[in-house]
Amino acid sequence: MTEVNEAPAGASSGGEDAEPLLSMRGIDKHFGPVQALYGVNLDLYSGKVTGLCGDNGAGKSVLTRTIAGAHQPDHGQIFFEGKPVHIRSTRDASALGIETVYQDLALADNLDIVQNMFLGRERLRHGLLDEDSMELAAADTLKTLRVTTVRSIRQPVASLSGGQRQSVAVAKAVMWNSKLVLLDEPTAALGVVQTRQVLDLIKRLRDQGLAVMVISHNLNDVFEVADRIAVLYLGRMVADGPAAGFDRQSVVEYMTTGAANGRPSEPAASASGEV
């Protein structure tokens, strides 16, 4: 990860008092002939949940993977805490405090909760796995996040319900001094009660001061948890601003036509905080 000393060009407060934790400016990404992202601007703030909306194929997962270091942008710049950064791997992202919960959860079914939470980052003591310390830390994190329905942190993940699995995936992401958590469709496969658990968990992360970006097709979920809303349409960011500036109809219009209230999107709207 390289850092260059340069102030974020045109980074706006987006109508917020604080400087964004992460800003994207002019991010392009293509795969062969498919242009997945066009000049995308986005600001993510600590202590705020940003709901990222968009139809299938709009570029939400590609955007998430670009922040997470799994894809490299072709053009554009990412700023983290005001400094330009190059996030070349998920390891670079973790070093900055960026953790991702992917659409397909990537938990190991045959391992228990503690083993999953420490997978690849196991704690050692005298050359042996420090089970006690990992167990304590895992239990602590789950308790802080008030994930209380799990019977034993030593049960295999395969035996958990969908909501519990999602909670473990989120807890795993926040255990590493995260500053930014990216959640790609965290409630897609969940029932009503489990969705509620995950939405509550997202609010708790926000209340703990983390920046959260959540992708969801469910506008009820978005309007319940999001402080800000950003909409991608065919790879372009067509709206980005405080959630209070949107209603369901305008989000649906942005998602399906790239414009709302007869107002075409302007790239400048991305950084203005007004839509």
Ligand X SMILES: Nc1ncnc2c1ncn2[C@@H]1O[C@H](COP(=O)(O)OP(=O)(O)OP(=O)(O)O)[C@@H](O)[C@H]1O
**Interface residues toward Mg ion, by CB under 5 A:** 61
Q: 255 touches which of ligand X, Mg ion, none (CB within 5 to 8 A by kind)?
A: none
| Count of CA atoms in the C-beta half-sphere (13 A) of 206 | 21
Tell the smallest beta-carbon distance from residue 65 to ligand X (Å).
8
Q: How far is the CB of 171 from ligand X (least distance, A)?
A: 23
Minimum Å gap between C-beta 54 and ligand X is 5
The pair of three-digit structure tokens given for residue 207, joined into one six-digit string: 């209340």
Provide the binding-site residues for ligand X, judged by CB under 6 A: 31, 34, 36, 54, 56-62
Please report, as a single letter, which amino acid is at residue 126: H
Beta strands in 81-166 (DSSP E): 83-85, 98-101, 124-125, 128-129
Q: Which does 165 bind (CB under 5 to 8 A by kind): Mg ion, ligand X, none?
A: none
Query: Which lies closer to Mg ion via its Cβ, residue 61 or residue 164?
Result: 61
* 125: Cα within 13 Å, side-chain hemisphere: 5
Q: How far apart are CA 109 and CA 112, in angstroms?
A: 8
Q: Which residue's CB comes closest to Mg ion?
A: 61
- How near is the Cβ of 31 to ligand X at its closest, in Å? 3
7 binds, among ligand X, Mg ion, none (CB under 5 to 8 A by kind): none
Smaller CB separation from ligand X, 180 or 231: 231
Residues in contact with 238: Cβ distance below 8 Å, sequence separation at least 6, in sequence order: 231, 232, 254, 258, 259, 265, 269
